[in-house]
């Protein structure tokens, strides 16, 4: 049995804002999260609390936003959960591996549930504002069915094909490029500072001339000001995304030589105790390598 409610699983830094956007758009949303506090906050906004992931999967449409492959595998790819689900379609908006996307699509198909991948670009404030960029892939009919949800959560939806893995590939590629940009800005700022140029002046010039746009402007200022908190996207998640890119590259025989450099830089940052900082804190590694004060 299904109902017209939207089930929502995963109310972390991104999921909270996304679920709230659905509520603002007038959707009836049933929410589940491992910890109760975010559930209570959404209930105060008009959501219904789910007793379990299975309760969320009784809804006609389910949206999930979990942290990584392990969480998706453990919570949502349980054959018993899917066998008992009333859902017609599951929209997985997490950044997960290409391999997991393929497994998830096949397992959902075995149980007669449509599967759409729709990872997003944007940090928590963007999610709260309903201004995300959504990268979607899946069967055309399923995408049309969930488009009103995308319209509530995002400013634009980019479609990448009929196979969910295509959306995850696009997101992994995008995050890999962001990580490269952060590292290159960190090295450039270290070079500038070591030669008497203020990093803030360098970034102001670069973003006003050669590199305008949100990535260089936003992350560039964080690098230049050494502003690593609050963590909108924690450093371990950055390492996860670099590893996803390396894994996808290896599977497709696509070398990503700079990816190995990035992975070592993120591991260096974690080894120095920066796990609770934003992933832009990987810039501190470039400073240490240059002998600059921390």
- pLDDT, one tens digit per residue, over 133-145 is 999 999 999 999 9
Q: Report the DSSP pairing between strands 132-136 and 120-121.
A: antiparallel
pTM of the model: 0.94
Token output for 94: 């997490």
pLDDT at 237: 95
CA 27 to chain centre: 23
The pLDDT of 170-198, averaged and rounded, is: 98
- Rounded Cα–Cα distance for residues 241 and 81 (Å): 27
Point out the residues that are catalytic: 171
The confidence band for 2, taking pLDDT boundaries of 50, 70 and 90, is: very low
CB count within 10 Å of CB 41 equals 16
pLDDT at 107: 98
The pLDDT of 186-195, averaged and rounded, is: 98
Q: Is 179 helix (H, G, I), strand (E, B) or coil?
A: helix
pLDDT at 1: 33
Domains (ranges, CATH) in the chain? 3-162 (3.40.50.720), 168-289 (1.10.1040.10)
- Rounded Cα–Cα distance for residues 27 and 150 (Å): 12
Residue 220 has pLDDT above 80, yes or no: yes
Evaluate the omega torsion of the peptide bond into residue 230 and state whether it is cis, within 30 degrees of 0: yes
């Amino acid at each position: 049995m299904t109902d017209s409610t939207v089930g929502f699983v995963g109310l972390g830094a991104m999921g909270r804002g996304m679920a709230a956007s659905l509520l603002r758009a007038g959707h009836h949303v049933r929410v589940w999260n491992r910890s109760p506090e975010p559930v209570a906050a959404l209930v105060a906004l008009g959501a219904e609390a789910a007793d379990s992931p299975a309760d969320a999967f009784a809804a006609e449409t389910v949206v999930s936003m979990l942290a990584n492959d392990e969480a998706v595998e453990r919570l949502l790819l349980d054959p018993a959960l899917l066998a008992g689900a009333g859902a017609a379609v599951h929209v997985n908006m997490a950044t997960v591996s290409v391999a997991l996307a393929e497994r998830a699509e096949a397992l959902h198909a075995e149980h007669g549930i449509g599967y759409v991948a729709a990872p997003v670009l944007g940090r928590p404030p963007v999610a709260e504002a309903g201004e995300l960029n959504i990268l979607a892939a899946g069967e055309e009919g399923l995408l049309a069915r969930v488009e009103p949800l995308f319209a509530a959560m995002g400013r634009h939806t980019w479609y990448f094909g009929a196979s969910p893995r295509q959306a995850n590939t696009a997101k992994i590629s995008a995050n890999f490029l962001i990580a490269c940009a952060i590292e290159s800005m960190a090295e450039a700022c270290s070079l500038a500072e070591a030669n008497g140029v203020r990093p803030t002046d360098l970034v102001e010039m670069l973003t006003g001339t050669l590199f305008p746009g949100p990535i260089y402007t936003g992350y560039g200022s964080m690098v230049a000001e050494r502003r690593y908190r609050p963590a909108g996207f924690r450093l371990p998640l950055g390492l996860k995304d670099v590893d996803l890119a390396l894994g996808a590259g290896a599977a497709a025989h696509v070398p990503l030589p700079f990816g190995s450099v990035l992975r070592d830089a993120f591991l260096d940052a974690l080894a120095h105790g920066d796990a609770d900082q934003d992933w832009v804190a990987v810039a501190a590694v470039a400073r240490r390598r240059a002998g600059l004060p921390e």
